[in-house]
Chains A and B, each alone.
Chain A
Amino acid sequence: MMRRLPAVEGEWIDRSRPLQLRFEGRTVTALQGDTLSSALAAAGIMTVARSFKYHRPRGIVSAAGHDANAVFQIGHEPNQRGDQIAAREGLAFQAVNTRGGVARDRASAIGLLARFLPVGFYYKAFLGQRSFPWFERIIRNFSGLGRVRFDRIDPPRERRYQHCDVAVIGAGIAGLAAAVSAAEHGARRIVLIDEAQRPGGSGLWHAKTQPQDVARCRELIDRLNASSDVELLCSHSVVGYYADHELAVSRIDREDGGLRLLRARAVVMATGCIEQPAVFRNNDLPGVLLGSAAQRLLYRHGIGAGERIVVLGANDEAVALALDLVSQGLTITDLAVPEGSPIDPTSLPFGALRAAGVRVHGNVRAIAAQAGSDGTLAAVEWLGAGRREQVTCDCLLMSTGWMPALQLALQCGGSITFDAALGQHLPQTLPAGLFVAGRANGCFDFADRATDGAAAGEQAARHARGDLPVADRSAPPRSTRRHSHPAALFAHAAGKEFVDLDEDLTLADLANAAQEGFDSVELLKRYSTVGMGPSQGKLSNLNAARQLARVTGRELPTLGLTTARPPWQPVSLGALAGARLAPLRRTAMDAWHDRHGAVWMPAGNWRRPAYYVGATDTQQQIGAEVHAVRNGAGLIDVSTLGKIEVMGRDAGLLLDRMYVGVVSDLAPGRTRYAVMLDEAGTIIDDGVVARLADGRFYITTTTGGSTAIYRELQRRVAEWQLDCTLHNLTGHLAAMNLAGPRCREILAQCTQLPLDDKAFPYLALREGHVAGAEARIARVGFVGELGYEIHTPCDQAQAVWDALLHAGAATGLRPFGVEAQRILRLEKGHIIVGQDTDGVTNPFEAGLARMLRMNKPFFTGQRSLQALQRRGDRQQLIGFTIAAAQVPLAESHLAIDAGNIIGRITSVAYSATLGRTIGLALLAPAHAVIGGTVQFRDDHGAFHPATLVAPPFYDPAGERQRSGAQA
């Protein structure tokens, strides 16, 4: 059983500060500096989790977050990594995948069904099954890690953006040396990132056997702490490495941590190696853990991994581990060296081991662990030198090999290659500015890691300064001998040799998948789900590839690797979402609308009043707003329109090339409706063009199109090299439309401008003052009544709005919203681009042929229209009326003829003014016949006959907007 030892020199815990935690209802006493995992270990709790599929008892494996065993639910936060979350007073947590707690998980019975849950179970079970929904419900209930609270909305998490000269990933000896070296070579903003709570990595182990190394490591840490150039980010994980050295850095010591996006000029990856487990029967028992995990527990948390420890060791690190643990007073009974290991048991420093009472066994060909009555490790047996041996123990440490942590280098476009001499992967090509150092670069000796790190730090500092790379970086001092067993896989007749602890996959599962034809690493992964669990194959991908190589008779290097993608460590979705930056645009009158009962609707990235709440219901309110405009006067905020001033000698030329009509012949002070197409002849925007003076035009665009149209105008100016300047006034000017038969008398109270038809005719534009504010006023007719559109600077717009409402109080002037405006314009048959047109509607189809000036030298879309004209229309926009008032028809309802779709509704509304339902529809040309009848089908399948008519529905001659005739 694990337990807390007497104080270990350099430990990260504070023995004077005890903490109380709650684990599944039990009180666990821990110390300041503990993680959740080490707190459980100190309390002697060996089983910390249940496995994903078979609910087998699981314990600490890596103590570094490289496995997905110690994953907990903390409050509403699922899947928190216990190896890395700091223990805090009062923190309550539980295992994520149990029925009734880890100790007596009722779901463990599912392990008895293991042989009915073959590899590829989902694919096999659901292929062509009609029972899928039933199965799915059962499986969703049984699987999954933790519980997500769907009824909860978390506050947004912080998102930080940071720039630095050099980012160093990993604060082991190589990373520490790199950071110090980068500072010495002129880098001023250095960020050093490590997943552990403190820097040092494995450089702090071997305190008694290699004291000079530990002293060197501490000295570097002291220098970093004293340096103002280095920011140390402990308990942070680099989870993504994106283009041009952008690192996504996740804070992992708090379950509510946010994300930091770090842009570096150069990066050193001193990410080290991930110790790889051996694969043998019952290798997943609590008590079987990595050698490096034992050292983490010992040197960070003062915890002994077991009372009687057996080491399964294949490399130099295994020998050093055994000597190190013995030097700290732990009991190692046996060291079992597998056949084919890089170390030779006959020529090792076994004298020291033997002196410490460690028995050494070479040529071990098979090994298996056995569970005791509590489900944790009780004994190990192995077959070596022709003898079967069994020893009782409570801890088996695996120290058989490594995998360099190079996934981040692969994410950003680097490549790696398998080095046969070293028996591991090494970087092959790296993006400019990325340098790999230390164990990840194949340097294993302590001094070599420090040297390699320092060299990489210097390179990074130079790159960050923009210096040319040093032509001849001396070859890194890589190890000349192997540190990994070529394949520590020990098949057993009774199975249960786990390759992937996340997904409960055994050697047999992978062999079966390969035999079923899924014999490439990518296919094997997808079919068997190996490496797809929360730890993303950190402990399983390499062993899975080795098993695939063994089963298919191929060499490991020829198999390749699965694609490395972010995230390197799990990140909570809340951290990825961050605080959303979606600014809402508000017009100058926004607060007024809000105070006066506006019901909001989105319009592009703005919000606009749909209508104003009043004494009656929605439909009556909208009806009253329409009635006011038709019979008295109304006022609507149209500030969201795009507003662009176009200036320069070529301004008219630009607009003539952009719009389908001619605008360069407009007289100053006149406006014209204008339509814009794309190169395919599709309508993309419409608005009003006004000429202010020679070489000065003022145009409006649709709300949704304002950004894109402004941008496209800018591009055309650059492309055609025109003498033309664009000034986007969309945010600078507010706009309001005063409309209705009595609006002239209201406006007259607020301006000195003469407003009679002669002085200010229909479609004219005047510049003057309204209520003391500078204004451009255009006579427009969008809603089909006498109307003035007033554009005025935002800071004065509210005063103008107030003045107009005050002036109109006696006349019944009322504000109206977008809903009323839609009905009013529909009565006039005016289209809304994007609602009454779609992604292919051209001006012929939309009834705008009269706008086209096909004899102009050029306009965008002109040549395509010539081709479209010859081809004929695909659809035709036409009006329709239905006598009834309450027709359940809406936009996009289909027109059906003899069972065939012949078109759809684009706009429909009840017109109180006309006493019938009116609308626009895009119909097949053969059916778009004035006077004809079509059948529209509603949501419930009922048909509604409609009579086709030519819009406009209201005041077809346009007398009202031209002369302001009284109703």
Chain B
Amino acid sequence: MKLIPCPLNGLRPADEFIYAGEVRHMPDPAQSTDADWARYVFHRSGVPGVKQEWWCHTPSGYWFIAERDTTTDEILRSYPAAQRKVEAS
């Protein structure tokens, strides 16, 4: 089983974590068309590469961001959610 570095709890086995998808930029609801909004809600990019992802260490209830290379399944780093960078998609 994989080990995941939690910024709060250190290296812990993967089954203590849940994954909640890529960090995505929410477009301004008032400004976006139905099509743009639908793309935000339903579209997920499966292109392999380094992704910012939401992870939660469930015993401690701690959410953080991990940067993971989805081609190698290697977690490059992880940091608190406050430090995340969200780029407009």
* A-to-B contact residues, CB < 8 Å: 242-244, 246, 261, 263, 679-680, 710-711, 714-715, 718-719, 721, 726, 728, 858, 862-864, 867, 870
- Complex Cα gap A867–B36 (Å): 11
Judge whether B32 and A863 touch: CB under 8 Å. yes
Given A243-B2, A243-B73, 10 more A-B residue pairs with CB atoms under 8 Å apart are: A244-B2, A244-B3, A246-B1, A679-B41, A711-B56, A711-B61, A714-B63, A719-B81, A863-B32, A864-B41
A715 to B54, CA, bound (A): 9
Residue contact A680 to B63, C-beta cutoff 8 Å: no
Cβ–Cβ contact A715 & B42, under 8 A: no
B58 within 8 A of A: yes
Q: Is the CB of B2 within 8 A of A715?
A: no
Could you jot down 26 A-B contacts, CB within 8 Å?
A: A242-B2, A243-B1, A243-B2, A243-B3, A243-B73, A244-B1, A244-B2, A261-B1, A679-B41, A680-B41, A714-B56, A714-B61, A714-B63, A715-B20, A715-B56, A715-B63, A718-B64, A718-B81, A718-B82, A719-B63, A719-B81, A721-B82, A863-B29, A863-B32, A864-B37, A864-B41
Residues of the A chain whose Cβ atoms lie less than 8 Å from the Cβ of B54: 715
A465 to chain B, nearest CB (A): 15
Most buried by B among A242, A246, A718, A728: A718
For the complex, is B34 an interface residue (Cβ under 8 Å from A)?
yes
Q: Does B88 contact A (CB under 8 A)?
A: no
Q: Total number of A-B contacts with CB less than 8 angstroms? A: 51
Residue from B3, B37, B58, B80 in contact with A711 in the complex, judged by beta carbons closer than 8 Å: B58
- Taking a contact as CB atoms under 8 Å apart, the answer to whether A711 and B18 are in contact is yes
On whether the beta carbons of B1 and A242 are closer than 8 Å, the reply is yes
Asked if A680 meets B61 with Cβ closer than 8 Å, knowing A244-B1, A863-B29, A863-B32, the reply is no
B29 touches A862 (CB 8 A): yes
Cα A10 to Cα B13 with chains together (Å) = 43
Which chain B residues (33-89) contact chain A, with CB distance < 8 Å?
Answer: 34, 37-38, 40-42, 54, 56, 58, 61, 63-64, 73, 80-82
Instruction: Give 3 closest A-B pairs by Cβ, nearest first.
Output: A863-B29, A718-B81, A243-B2
Residue A718 contacts which of B29, B32, B63 (CB distance < 8 angstroms)?
A: B63
CA distance A721 to B84 in the complex (A): 11
CB contacts (< 8 Å) of B42 on chain A: these are: 680
Contacts of A715 in B (CB 8 A): 20, 54, 56, 63
| CB-defined contacts of A710 to chain B, threshold 8 Å | 61
Min Cβ gap B43→A in Å is: 12
Q: Which residues of B contact A679 (CB under 8 A)?
A: 40-41
- The complex places the Cα of A858 from the Cα of B61 at a distance, in Å, of 25
Tell me the complex Cα distance, A243–B73, Å. Answer: 10
- Who on chain A is nearest to B61 by CB? A714
Per-residue 0/1 for B7-43: is the Cβ within 8 Å of any A Cβ (1 yes, 0 no)? 0000001100010100000000100101001101110
A718 proximity list for chain B (CB < 8 A): 63-64, 80-82
Contact partners of B81 in chain A: CB under 8 A: 718-719, 721
Residue numbers in A under 8 Å from B58 (CB-CB): 711
CB distance from B26 to the nearest CB of A (A): 8
Rounded to whole Å, the gap between the CB of B85 and the closest CB of chain A is: 13
Shortest distance between the CB of A709 and any CB in chain B (Å)? 13
Which A residues are in CB contact (< 8 Å) with B80? Answer: 718
Interchain CA distance A870-B35 in the complex, whole Å = 13
| Alpha-carbon separation in the docked complex, A870 to B34 (Å) | 10
**B20 nearest CB neighbor, chain A only:** A715
Closest to B27 in A: A863
The answer for the CA separation of A858 and B27 in the assembled complex, in Å, is 13
Q: Which residues of A contact B38 (CB under 8 A)?
A: 867
User: Count of chain B residues with Cβ under 8 Å from any Cβ of A?
Assistant: 25
Given contacts A714-B56, A864-B37, contact A858 B29 (CB under 8 A): yes
Distance A243 CA – B40 CA, assembled complex (angstroms):
33
| Minimal beta-carbon separation of B32 from chain A (angstroms) | 7
CA distance A710 to B63 in the complex (A): 12
**Could you tell me the distance in whole angstroms from the C-beta of A874 to the nearest C-beta in chain B?**
15
The chain A residue with its CB closest to the CB of B56 is A711
Name the residue on A nearest B24 (C-beta): A679
Bound complex: CA A679 to CA B29 (Å): 11
Cα distance, A728 to B32, chains bound together (Å): 36
Nearest CB in chain B: distance from A434 CB, A: 15
Shortest CB–CB separation between residue B41 and chain A, in angstroms?
5
Which residue of A710, A719, A858, A864 has the most chain B CB atoms within 10 A of its CB atom? A719
Could you tell me the distance between the alpha carbons of A721 and B81 in the complex, rounded to whole angstroms?
8
Query: B82's closest neighbor in chain A, by CB?
Result: A721
Q: How far is the CB of B64 from chain A (nearest CB, A)?
A: 8
Contacts of A726 in B (CB 8 A): 61
- Name B84's closest neighbour in chain A (CB-CB): A719
A742 to chain B, nearest CB (A): 42
- Least CB distance from A585 to B in Å reads 16
Interface centre among A246, A261, A858, A863 (most CB of B within 10 A): A863
Chain B nearest CB from A854 CB (Å) reads: 12
By a CB distance below 8 angstroms, the chain A residues around B3 are 243-244
Q: How far is the CA of A718 from the CA of B2 in the complex (A)?
A: 24
Distance in Å: Cβ of B23 to nearest Cβ of chain A: 9
Contacts of B82 in A (CB 8 A): 718, 721
A867 B73 Cβ-Cβ under 8 A: no
Within the assembled complex, what's the spacing in Å between the Cα atoms of A263 and B14? Answer: 13
Residues of chain A within 8 A (CB-CB) of B61 are 710-711, 714, 726, 728
CB of B37 within 8 A of CB of A867, answer yes
**B34 contacts across to A, CB distance below 8 A:** 867, 870
Query: Considering only CB atoms, which chain B residue lies closest to A719 in the complex?
Result: B81
Complex CA gap A715/B81 in Å reads 9
Assembled-state Cα–Cα distance A719/B53 (Å): 12
Instruction: With both chains docked as a complex, state the minimum distance between the C-beta of A727 and any C-beta of chain B, in angstroms.
Output: 10
Residue of A nearest to B63 (CB): A718
Chain B residue, CB-CB nearest to A707? B58
Task: Provide the residues of chain B in CB contact with A858, threshold 8 Å.
Answer: 29
**In the complex, A679 Cα to B37 Cα: how many Å?**
10
A715 CA / B38 CA spacing, docked (Å): 22
Once bound together, how far apart are the Cα atoms of A243 and B64, in whole Å?
21
Residues of B contacting A680 with CB < 8 Å?
41-42
Cα distance, A244 to B2, chains bound together (Å): 6
Instruction: Give the residues in chain B near A863, CB-CB below 8 Å.
Output: 29, 32, 37
Closest chain-B Cβ to A433's Cβ sits at a distance in Å of 11
Instruction: Name, among B37, B56, B63, B80, the residue most crowded by chain A CB atoms within 10 Å (CB to CB).
Output: B63
How far is the CB of A196 from the nearest CB of chain B, in Å?
A: 28
- Chain A residue with the shortest CB-CB distance to B81: A718
- Provide the residues of chain A in CB contact with B56, threshold 8 Å: 711, 714-715
In the assembled complex, the CB of A218 is this many whole angstroms from the nearest CB of chain B, namely 38
Residues of A within 8 A of B41 (CB): 679-680, 864
Shortest B37–chain A CB gap in Å is 5
Q: Which residues of B contact A243 (CB under 8 A)?
A: 1-3, 14, 73
Kindly list chain A residues whose C-beta atoms are within 8 Å of the C-beta of B20: 715
Q: What is the minimal beta-carbon distance from B58 to any residue of chain A, in angstroms?
A: 7
Question: Which A residue's beta carbon lies closest to that of B80?
Answer: A718
Chain A residues with CB under 8 Å of B64's CB are: 718
By beta carbon, the residue of chain B nearest A679 is: B41
Contacts of A728 in B (CB 8 A): 61
Question: Which residue on B lies nearest to A710, using beta carbons?
Answer: B61
Q: Chain A contacts of B37 at CB under 8 A? A: 863-864, 867
Task: Return the chain A residue nearest B4 by Cβ.
Answer: A244
Closest CB in chain A relative to B30 CB, distance in Å = 8
Instruction: Write the nearest CB–CB distance from A864 to chain B, whole angstroms.
Output: 6
- Alpha-carbon distance between A111 and B73 when the two chains are bound, in angstroms: 49
- CB neighbours of B13 from chain A (8 A): 263
Q: With the chains together, A714 CA to B54 CA distance in Å?
A: 12
Complex Cα–Cα for A863 and B61 (A): 28
A261 / chain B contacts, CB cutoff of 8 Å: 1
CB distance from B4 to the nearest CB of A (A): 9
For A721, list chain B residues within 8 Å (CB): 81-82
Q: How far is the CB of A703 from chain B (nearest CB, A)?
A: 18
CB of A869 to closest CB in B, whole Å: 11
Most chain A CB inside 10 Å of its own CB: which residue of B29, B54, B58: B29
B36 to chain A, nearest CB (A): 10
Give CA–CA (A465, B2) in the complex, Å: 19
